[in-house]
């Protein structure tokens, strides 16, 4: 975030390498270029690290595997097992590859969600700790 946009006594605490997320003594801001979301620290109500997945890929994988097994057992034909297994493996692979590791910062009226792809776990935890410390400092003022 450009320092000319800071409040009078605002200071930088942490910033992502790609400048997508900025944490200051007053706010946390996401700037994607096409969208800017800014939440004042006093308004932050939750911080969550989680995975976003499309569960339907996993469901299709399980149904395909079970369908192949049941077909093979009822017809005594291994081709159902093979085809069901191949379809199950493909959909399970898609399920794994489309998982998104995400950090969400919420307030009562807005939410910042961003993918934390390629960021080390320690850096994510450090950012969350910095955010929580900044909120605690502001609360104790």
- pLDDT tens per residue across span 59-115: 999 999 999 999 988 888 888 889 999 999 999 999 999 999 888 999 988 898 888
pLDDT attached to residue 59? 97
Classify residue 84 as exposed, middle or buried by CB count within 10 Å of its CB (0-12, 13-18, 19+): buried
Output Rg (C-alpha) for the chain, integer angstroms: 23
Strand order in the sheet with 21-24: 12-15, 21-24, 27-31, 36-40
Q: Note the Cα 97 to chain centre separation in Å.
A: 14
Nearest-angstrom CA–CA distance, 131 and 92: 35
Q: What CA–CA distance (Å, rounded) separates 125 from 2?
A: 25
33-64 pLDDT tens trace = 888 889 999 899 999 998 899 999 999 999 99
Crossing angle for the helix pair 55-75 and 78-97, nearest 10 degrees? 170
So what's the pLDDT on residue 56?
Answer: 97
Q: What tokens does 86 get?
A: 């191949």
Mean pLDDT across 26-33: 87
pLDDT on residue 3: 66
Q: Give the torsion through C-alpha atoms of 32, 35, 36, 37, to 10 deg.
A: -110
């Amino acid at each position: 975030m450009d320092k000319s946009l800071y409040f009078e006594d605002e200071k930088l605490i942490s910033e992502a390498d790609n400048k997508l997320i900025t944490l200051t003594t007053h706010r946390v801001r996401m700037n994607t270029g096409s969208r800017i979301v800014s939440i004042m620290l006093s308004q932050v109500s939750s911080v969550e690290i989680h995975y976003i997945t499309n569960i339907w890929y996993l469901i299709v994988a399980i149904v395909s595997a079970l369908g192949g097994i049941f077909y093979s057992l009822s017809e005594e034909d291994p081709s159902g097992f093979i085809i069901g297994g191949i379809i199950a493996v493909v959909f399970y692979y898609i399920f794994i590859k489309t998982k998104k590791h995400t950090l969400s910062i919420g307030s009562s009226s807005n939410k910042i969600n961003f993918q934390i792809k390629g960021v080390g776990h320690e850096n994510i935890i450090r950012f969350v700790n910095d955010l929580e410390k900044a909120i605690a400092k502001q609360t104790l003022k």
